[in-house]
Structure 1
Amino acid sequence: MKTYTLNFEQKLPIPLAEAWDFFSSPLNLAKITPPEMRFVVTSAYKPDAKIYPGMVITYKVSPLLGIKLNWMTEITHVKDQEYFVDDQRVGPYAIWHHEHHFKSIKGGVEMADKLTYAVPYGIIGRVANSLLVAKEIQKIFTYREKAINDMFGVYKQL
């Protein structure tokens, strides 16, 4: 099985604690996901819920052609205000391992995402990745970057 790794980085003009507070809430993921994906968290969490190791989050998502899929991830690692990791337990990927890293920088916070994933179905999955999946993931993270900048502002080097 072929795995792929993508890295994304974004700086925000907000304190680390504010960034952590936003991104450690499972309910905020829908706010930074493209609307055409119809992303809905189906787990019953209170608005102030925060991630913890072992937390299981369920979603409905329509990544392609409006087809609704169930997705389940587990938060496997958390180090407060430094990083957390989610791993797919049920969903469209053969592997989905997503690391979210945060560090305080002058005038804000730097966020780094490392996504390791694999598409099922062998050669068909590899072709699908090169023709469609990788582009869709890139599109999601491009949307996310814009949505986050719209919410928190654009980082300007001091």
Structure 2
Amino acid sequence: MIKFSKHSGIYSLEALQILNTSLEQAWELLSDPGNLEKITPPEMNFTITSEGDEPMYAGQIITYKVTPFPGIRSNWITEITHVRQKEYFVDEQRFGPYKMWHHEHRIIEHENGVLMKDRISYKLPFGFLGAITHPFIVKPQLQKIFRHREKVLAEMFNQ
């Protein structure tokens, strides 16, 4: 399920998915930045450019190159600001295509495995011009990304 809302000029996206796996396996996959490429649509040309393969930690800076919209290649820099092992982590954009990006990744034990809950709060650049692109460009692109991720994760966990 993917749901959008807007409040005070900030957009929110909430995505829920049940994964047929253990909390440990879900955390191992989702908290490893190296797996982002696997769950991102290939046409986004998502590439991690930062070095290191250490476990996720608060304060970690991760850099990427990504094509968020057709024809636009962008550097994206995020910081992992909060981590609670096997519960949640938060990444925040420091530089990239959005004016603001705050992404909470939560996993919760569920009777059918693990409930994965994402909540993204974001603000678009370019004021009014950015706002008019939301329903035609930004929202469909985010829906596409999360639907792709949902499909890939379901296949990975044999659902």
Q: Which category of TM-score, normalised to the shorter sequence, fits these structures?
A: over 0.9
Q: Which residue of 2 aligns with 1:138?
A: 143
Aligned length: 152
Q: Which residue of 2 aligns with 1:63?
A: 68
Moved runs in structure 1, 4+ residues, more than 2 A?
none
Structure 2 counterparts to residues 24-35 of structure 1, below 5 A: 24-35=31-42
Greater CA drift, 60-69 or 37-46:
60-69
Structure 1, residues 17-63: CA drift from partner, whole Å, max 9, x if none? 000011110100110000000000001122xx321100000000012
CA contact (8 A) 1:12 1:153 kept: no
- Partners of 1:65 and 1:14 lie apart in 2 by 34
Superposition CA RMSD, Å = 1.0
Q: TM-score, normalised on structure 1?
A: 0.93
- Are 1:22 and 2:24 an aligned pair? no
Q: TM-score, normalised on structure 2?
A: 0.92
1:3 is matched with which residue: 3, 10, 31? 10
For 2:114, the aligned partner's letter is V
Structure 1 segments unaligned to the other structure (5+ residues): none
- Are 1:45 and 2:62 an aligned pair? no
Find the residue that maps to 2:69 and give its secondary structure.
Answer: coil
Find the residue that maps to 1:54 and give its secondary structure.
Answer: coil
Between the two proteins, what is the percent identity of the paired residues?
47
Find the residue that maps to 2:68 and give its secondary structure.
Answer: coil
CA contact (8 A) 1:39 1:62 kept: yes
Structure 2 segments unaligned to the other structure (5+ residues): 1-7
- Partners of 1:86 and 1:65 lie apart in 2 by 24
- Partners of 2:65 and 2:86 lie apart in 1 by 28
- Partners of 1:142 and 1:43 lie apart in 2 by 26
- Partners of 2:52 and 2:73 lie apart in 1 by 21
